[in-house]
Every structure is written in structure tokens, then in C-alpha cells.
Structure 1
Amino acid sequence: MTTTGSTRRARWFTTSGADPNAGHQVFLFPHAGGTAPAYQAWGATLPSTMEVRTLQLPGRQERFDEQPFTDVEPLLDALQEAFEAELDGRPYVLFGHSFGGMLAYRLAVAAAWNGLPAPALLAVSSWAPGLGWAAELAQVATMSDDQLLDRVAQLGLLTEGTALDPATLASIMPAIRADFLAAGSLQEDGEPAPCPVAAYGGTSDPIVPPDALSVWAEHTTDFLGTTEFNAGHFHLFDHAAALQHSLERQVRKLRARV
């Protein structure tokens, strides 16, 4: 049976309801191991001028029976096809956190390569090109579940020493491990983002301090600067309202340029 465009869109991106009157489409890309429901509230709290669509990768929740990608190139190929099917001619914004920031950046680059309209804004949280994590991420293949959970806890997603029951471990570990491996497989090429870029970071982020995000100035001709929040790697959960307000403000300022 041939997979239709509507089926593909329903599987890769979730939305609380398409709003054809919204001025912008906003695509959200979760962190490694993340799921679409983690960002579900954004659709209700962002202004009505923004229609939110959130990525749901294979290997989690309703896509649990699908094998997660462990190599970034085939992942990006499949994601690009699904993403392009979502575009409807409206201006669009890409927002990604950590691993999701990498995916959002590479989709923006692919849009330029393929002659598609560039994003109105690429907003990236706790990720930037060339920060040299590949060696550490590649070690994930040899880590035990406990070691990998400890590393996730160090980033602030879990309380250190958290003990999970076997069923929960079996449901989350394949996606976490796969996403870390996919992130580590990225071959950096220094390609510039074809659009304005805004960066977001946590002041106590153990792997991406906000000053490291200034490297974005070398990867776009229109760097809008870094917004810092008093939090760690997952600052976007503690400061969701402020981050969303910043996104809206950036979009309004960019629209006023036209």
C-alpha cells in the first residue's frame, strides 16, 4: 500500500489542530530521546499567529514499533521528506533543543540546497555547530543503560540516581541511545544557515554554556544573539513562557523588516 502524504505527516509531526489563519508555521524538534507531548503545551501558549507542529521520531510512543535511526544521514533524508510535505507556503520557524537543534539546523540547510524557501527564523537551544561532542557521543554505543542514564541525569533531565523499572527502561532507552548515536554521527561541514538565527542557553548548562553559542555568528549572516536563562541544559522547561515570548518577539521584529 502506498503511504500518502497525509499519513506521513500524521506520523512525523503532531499538531493540536491545523489553523490556516495562523501567519506562521512553527516546527518544534525535541531533545535526544524526547517526545512530541513534552512540547504539547506550546500549541496552547504560543500566540494564535503561530501554528505549532512537533516532531515525533520513530522508536517512541505511538511509533515505538518502528526502529529508531542511529545514523543522522538516513534520519535527515526521511525527516526532510516528511517536513517538506508539511510546508504550505506560509513563512515558517524552526525551533530545536539540543539534538533537536541540530536537526532543525540541518533542515534549514537542506531547504537552501533544494531551492525551498528558507525559514523566517531558526531558533536553536543548547546546540551549535562545531562544539566537538562527536567523540563523547560515539561512546554511547559501549555504555550500559545505567551509565547512559547517569549521563542523562548529569544534563538535568533525570534526578541523579533515578531507578527506573524494567518496563520503563525498555520503553525509553532505545530512543535515547539511538538519538545520541545519530548526533555523534554528524559530519560537520560548516554550512551556513540560510536565515536569521537566534540562540538560547542555560547559564549553568554543563555542556553548552551560553557563551559557546556565539559561534552561530560564524554560521549565519544574521545572528540575532543569545538569550540566557538562569537554568541548566533543559532551561526551556523551566522558562517556557519567557522563551516563547522571545520567539514571538523575534518573529515580529523580523516581519517588521519586510
Structure 2
Amino acid sequence: MHRWLHPSEAGPDADIRLFLLHHSGGAATAYRDWPALFPGSVTCQAVQLPGRQDRRGEEPYTRLAPLVGDLAGVLAADLDERPYALFGHSMGALLAYRVTVELARTGVPAPALLAVSGWSPQGFHAGDPQTGDPYPFDPLALTTRLNSLPAGVAADPRLLDEAVRTLRADGAVCADHTDDHATVPCPLVAYTGRDDPLLAPEALHAWAGRTPDYLGCRTYPGGHFYLHTHTGAVTADLGQLLLRHAEPR
């Protein structure tokens, strides 16, 4: 578990567990500031996918189904009697959604809440706006378009090579998704940036048909990475929803 979850152990005194899934090309450190923003009753663990940071020696996944199956197995083995929730941004939202579907398929108790940000099974397109390719051949074109590559990474050839490798792999994972209109057996809330260039207008509302309890879409100023500047607002809203929906079993 220690490879997949940061920290590897959930806080023993918390009542609710929250798993955080990072965006394409990202890592668990994307959520380094989140634990301190939630009430003490919530314990956070960020998922670390292979091929980056402390897992850079491992081959990254390039297919969606094997990644979803393995990640669902990791979470299922780590769950305890406490209620849990999943939050994911961009590719993390895709993974959180498909993992929730997979957990339900295998009979694992559903999360108390699924929270998705910056991605939708309908109306999301990260491809090249000129060619229509689902993902650019050069993944740096997408990061340039979104202004999402840290300056320190761009200036370091080793870090840049690592970033390109994970971006290519993560792009292949995302492009491997085919929408089967699967539903999740839990409440779902969506978050988005008002000017996200990767999402069609009203795309996040497609989630309403994927859950028996759609809690709506929260919209904030900004683009695809609106989350960087609105972390406090998102975590405050998410924390309230967790306290409302994650009743002890």
C-alpha cells in the first residue's frame, strides 16, 4: 500500500477517509496542502500512480482497465469500517469514477461520496484543436495550452523527460476510455472552472444521469486548473458534504 497511498496509513482517529486522485502528468504531491484544510474527522490519502516521483522507476500504465482494476484492488484491500469518499481532478476524476464503478461491480461497499473535478464522460476533449486528435502527439502542446507545466520542470532536462513520459502514458490511459454510461451507487458532486477549455458548456451536468443522488456542479472562476487558486473554497464545500453524507457504518 505504501507505494500507492500517501501517507500509507489513514489517520486512526478520523471518522471519514478521503482518497485523492491526481491529474494527468501529476502526482500525489498535488494534494500536499489538503489534509490541513479539512476537519480533524477527515483523513486524506493521495494516490500515487506508477512512473512519477518515488515511483519513477516503475512503468506507468498506458491502458485504463488494468489501472482501474489494480487501483480498485488497492483501495478495497485498504478500506476499514469507516465511510470513505473519492475526489479526483481531470484524469483523477476519470479514475475515481471508473474505480467506483469497479468497486460496485465487485461487491465492495460504495463510497459515501464521489467528487469529480475538471472532467466529464461527455463533453470533455483534451485533443489538438487543429487536428482533432484525442490527445496531442506532443504532450507538451497540451501543457503549454493549459499553462500547467511548472517553470522548474521546463528548465530541467531530467524532470522534463520524466514529465513527458508520464504525460504520454496518462494521455494514453485517458484516450482508452469509452463511455458506457455506467452509473455509480452513491451521491456525486462536480466541480469545474468557468473557462475550462477542455470542457464543453454544461458538460459537468452530464453527471446528473450517472448517480441516484446528484448534488450539483460548483463552478469557480478560472480554467482547467482553477483548483490551484480555489483550493480553500473547494475543500470547504467538500468537507461540508463529507460530514453530511458520510455517516458511520
Inter-partner Cα distance in structure 1 for 2:200 and 2:115: 16
1:219 and 2:210 correspond: yes
1:67 and 2:44 correspond: no
**Alignment map for 1:178-189 (pairs within 5 Å):** 178-189=169-180
**Bigger mean CA offset, 241-250 vs 131-140:** 131-140
Partner residue in 2 for 1:164: 155
1:152 and 2:143 correspond: yes
**Alignment map for 1:199-210 (pairs within 5 Å):** 199-208=190-199
Report the AA paired with residue 137 of structure 2. M
Inter-partner Cα distance in structure 2 for 1:14 and 1:255: 22
1:155 Cα deviation after fit: 2.1
Inter-partner Cα distance in structure 1 for 2:118 and 2:19: 17
Report if aligned partners of 1:214, 1:226 keep a CA contact under 8 Å in 2: yes
Partner residue in 2 for 1:5: none
Report if aligned partners of 2:28, 2:48 keep a CA contact under 8 Å in 1: yes
Partner residue in 2 for 1:143: 137
Q: How many residues align?
A: 244
Partner residue in 1 for 2:118: 126
1:22 and 2:14 correspond: yes
Inter-partner Cα distance in structure 2 for 1:192 and 1:90: 23
Identify unmatched segments of 5+ residues in structure 1: 1-8
Instruction: Normalising by structure 2, report the TM-score.
Output: 0.90
Report the AA paired with residue 241 of structure 2. Q
Report if aligned partners of 1:196, 1:221 keep a CA contact under 8 Å in 2: yes
SS in 2 for 1:66: coil
Report if aligned partners of 1:156, 1:232 keep a CA contact under 8 Å in 2: no
The one of 224, 234, 248 aligned to 1:243? 234
The one of 82, 93, 103 aligned to 2:95? 103
**Bigger mean CA offset, 79-88 vs 206-215:** 206-215
1:99-123 CA distances to partner (integer Å, 9 max, x unpaired)?
A: 0000000111111111111110000
1:16 Cα deviation after fit: 7.7
Cα separation, partners in 2 of 1:210 and 1:51, compared to 1, 3 Å: farther
Report if aligned partners of 1:134, 1:186 keep a CA contact under 8 Å in 2: no
Report if aligned partners of 2:5, 2:45 keep a CA contact under 8 Å in 1: yes
SS in 1 for 2:3: helix
Identify unmatched segments of 5+ residues in structure 2: none
RMSD value over aligned CA atoms?
Answer: 2.3
Report if aligned partners of 1:138, 1:184 keep a CA contact under 8 Å in 2: no
Cα separation, partners in 2 of 1:38 and 1:108, compared to 1, 3 Å: same
Inter-partner Cα distance in structure 2 for 1:38 and 1:170: 19
Inter-partner Cα distance in structure 1 for 2:233 and 2:35: 15
Inter-partner Cα distance in structure 2 for 1:50 and 1:159: 30
SS in 2 for 1:11: coil
1:161-194 CA distances to partner (integer Å, 9 max, x unpaired)?
A: x953322211211111100110000122111011
**Bigger mean CA offset, 244-253 vs 199-208:** 244-253
Cα separation, partners in 2 of 1:210 and 1:247, compared to 1, 3 Å: farther
1:229 and 2:229 correspond: no
Of all paired residues, the percent bearing the same amino acid is: 39
Cα separation, partners in 2 of 1:82 and 1:64, compared to 1, 3 Å: same
Inter-partner Cα distance in structure 2 for 1:169 and 1:237: 21
SS in 1 for 2:62: coil
Cα separation, partners in 2 of 1:31 and 1:151, compared to 1, 3 Å: same
Partner residue in 1 for 2:31: 39
